[in-house]
Amino acid sequence: MHFTTRAIHAGQEPEPRTGSVNVPIYQTSTYAQDGVGEHRGWDYGRSGNPTRDALQMALASLEQAEDAVVFASGLAAEDAVFRLLSPGDHVIMADDVYGGTWRQVAKVHVPAGLLEVTTVDLADLDAVAAAVRPTTRLVWVETPSNPLLKVFDLAALATVAHDAGARLVVDNTFATPYLTQPLAHGADLVVHSTTKYLGGHSDVVGGAVCTDAETAERLRFLQNAVGAVGGPLDNYLTLRGIKTLGVRMETHCANAAAIADHLVDHPAITQVLYPGLAHHRNHDVAARQMRHFGGMLSIRLAGGRPAADAVAVGTELFFLAESLGGVESLIEHPGAMTHASVAGTALEVPDDLLRLSVGIEHVDDLVADLDHALAQV
């Protein structure tokens, strides 16, 4: 079945007792048992919930994975993946990895002795190979990356990782399975912040890992032992968002491409970072690996930080806010907002940079809003 059909049907049979076409919100912490230890597949809300099961089945189907495990947030999902490692294991990550991922690794897992980490430019495959150690277990990649919109070649990275005896983890939050399905390119685990495009309406926080059945079982054990489960209403909202992922992504991508084209020659802007632009460093990889070029773009302002601040507060339709992937357009200053946790490190982002999450409003209104804000700097 096609992607957009699976988004609406996978894991989402009508509820058998009433015929409810929507998966109910099973708002319960426990389940009555038929006999001592004889339950119907669910015994306690941390261990399992039918609304969560439905979401897991839908996500596994969209990523073409054997299984999916849903968490309370994207960072909770990532934490579970890192807990698959043993002390001394080594991880290779991009030098522009998401700030929250970097904070978790550098400030929590490294000090606890769980893992060691090296950051490299993942577009330089020789540098990746040179960073490999006998203890390397994971190569961790986001594509397109946040907020610099770098694109990395998943098949090539999978080869380098597998040659090193490591597994490739792809944070697929920006591309979503509608644009890229990393497991088909050789990845071993896909992580998501479902808070973003999958939920799609800026009304719920969640995360997921899509992977093989054996790894999913280990992650479920960890989740039950550690406790990072989302609630049934959260799972329902995410599932509801997923139903329209395909149509939303079509508009997000078309709007972002039109805005990138419009801004590329703007006198107030020195650079537009968007994988769909022909001069993007890895445009050819993006064209091969993605259905469209995504709904995220970043711009650098000729007037530096003051101009960036003025534009960020000068838009009306683009709300000045963290996060991304919702139906409404958002603008933010990564250096001071989402990526403040990497300030002063090698992962610091330029302070003339603004990141745009292009929503699904009418593109003419979005262009007019940006033009108006840019005219003031």
Annotated catalytic sites, by residue? Answer: 46, 98, 171, 196
Question: Cβ of residue 338: shortest distance to ligand PLP, in angstroms?
Answer: 8
Of 119, 143, 146, 211, the one binding ligand PLP (CB under 6 A) is 146
Closer Cβ to ligand PLP, 195 or 211, answer by number:
195
Of 173, 180, 211, 357, the one binding ligand PLP (CB under 6 A) is 173
Q: Which two tokens stand for residue 55?
A: 């979401």
Residue 171 lies near ligand PLP (rule: CB under 6 A): yes
Q: Which two tokens stand for residue 297?
A: 């773009």
Closer Cβ to ligand PLP, 10 or 205, answer by number:
205
Residue 193 lies near ligand PLP (rule: CB under 6 A): yes
The residues, ordered by sequence, that sit 6+ positions from 307 with a Cβ below 8 Å of its Cβ are 268, 301, 352, 377
Under 8 Å between Cβ of 252 and 17: no
Closer Cβ to ligand PLP, 183 or 204, answer by number:
204
Residue 142 lies near ligand PLP (rule: CB under 6 A): yes
Q: Please, what sign has the CA dihedral across residues 183, 186, 188, 192?
A: negative
Residue 357 lies near ligand PLP (rule: CB under 6 A): no
Of 196, 280, 333, 339, the one binding ligand PLP (CB under 6 A) is 196
Helix, strand or coil for residue 188?
coil
**Cα separation of 167 and 73, whole Å?**
22
Closer Cβ to ligand PLP, 78 or 352, answer by number:
78
Q: Minimal CB distance to ligand PLP: which residue?
A: 74
Q: What is the CA radius of gyration of the chain?
A: 21
29 CB burial (10 A radius; 0-12, 13-18, 19+): exposed
- Which of 139, 175, 143, 204 lies closest to 63, judged by CA? 175
H-run or E-run covering 372: helix 363-374
Identify which range of 82-90, 96-104, 230-238, 341-349 contacts ligand PLP by CB under 6 A: 96-104
Site string for ligand PLP, 11-50 (x = CB under 6 A): ----------------------------------------
Residue 195 lies near ligand PLP (rule: CB under 6 A): yes
Q: Which two tokens stand for residue 264?
A: 């590329």
Long-range Cβ contacts of 265-271 (<8 Å, 24+ apart):
266/374, 267/302, 268/301, 268/302, 268/303, 268/307, 268/311, 268/374, 268/377, 269/299, 269/300, 269/301, 269/302, 269/374, 270/300, 270/301, 270/302, 270/352, 271/299, 271/300
- Tell me whether strands 207-211 and 269-273 are parallel, antiparallel or unpaired: unpaired
Under 8 Å between Cβ of 286 and 276: yes
**Cα separation of 327 and 338, whole Å?**
19
Residue 235 lies near ligand PLP (rule: CB under 6 A): no
Residue 236 lies near ligand PLP (rule: CB under 6 A): no
The site for ligand PLP, by CB under 6 A, has a size of 16
Please report, in angstroms and rounded to a whole number, the separation of the first and last CA atoms in the chain.
50
Question: Cβ of residue 5: shortest distance to ligand PLP, in angstroms?
Answer: 27
Closer Cβ to ligand PLP, 194 or 374, answer by number:
194
Question: Cβ of residue 151: shortest distance to ligand PLP, in angstroms?
Answer: 14
Residue 332 lies near ligand PLP (rule: CB under 6 A): no
Closer Cβ to ligand PLP, 132 or 157, answer by number:
157
Residue 73 lies near ligand PLP (rule: CB under 6 A): yes
Identify which range of 72-80, 106-114, 312-320, 342-350 contacts ligand PLP by CB under 6 A: 72-80
Q: Which of residues 74-93 bind ligand PLP (CB under 6 A)?
A: 74-75
| Angle at alpha carbon of residue 125, lines to 122 and 128, rounded to 5° | 65
Identify which range of 57-65, 98-106, 120-128, 364-372 contacts ligand PLP by CB under 6 A: 98-106
Closer Cβ to ligand PLP, 84 or 307, answer by number:
84
Under 8 Å between Cβ of 316 and 361: no
Q: Return residues touching ligand PLP (CB under 6 A).
A: 73-75, 98, 100-101, 142, 146, 171, 173-174, 193, 195-196, 205, 207
